[in-house]
Amino acid sequence: MPFYRSAGHVPPKRHTQHRTADGALLFEELTGSDGFSADSSLLYHRNQPAQVLDVRPWALPDQTLQPNDPFLPRHVATHRLFAEGAAVDAVNGRRLLLGNSDIRLAYVVATVPSPLYRNAIGDECLFVEAGAATVETAFGDLAVDHGDYVTPAASITPSCPPAPCSCAST
The per-residue pLDDT of the chain, averaged, comes to 80
Q: How confident is the model at residue 2 (pLDDT cuts 50, 70, 90)?
A: low
pLDDT tens profile 108-151: 888 888 777 777 677 788 888 888 888 888 788 889 999 999 88
Q: What is the pLDDT of residue 167?
A: 46
Q: What is the pLDDT of residue 163?
A: 66
pTM: 0.67
Rounded Cα gap, residues 118 and 50, in angstroms: 13
Q: How confident is the model at residue 22 (pLDDT cuts 50, 70, 90)?
A: very high
Q: Is 40:47 a contact under the CB 8 Å cutoff?
A: no
Q: Is the pLDDT of residue 35 over 70?
A: no
Angle at 55 between CA 52 and CA 61, to 5 degrees: 145
pLDDT tens profile 51-106: 677 777 777 777 888 887 888 888 888 888 888 878 888 888 888 888 888 888 88
Q: What is the pLDDT of residue 24?
A: 92
Q: What is the pLDDT of residue 1?
A: 58
Domains plus CATH for the chain?
Answer: 8-49 (no CATH), 80-169 (2.60.120.10)
- From residue 73, alpha-carbon distances to 68, 69, 70, 76, 97 in Å are 9, 11, 10, 10, 14
Q: Is the pLDDT of residue 169 over 90?
A: no
Q: What is the pLDDT of residue 72?
A: 82
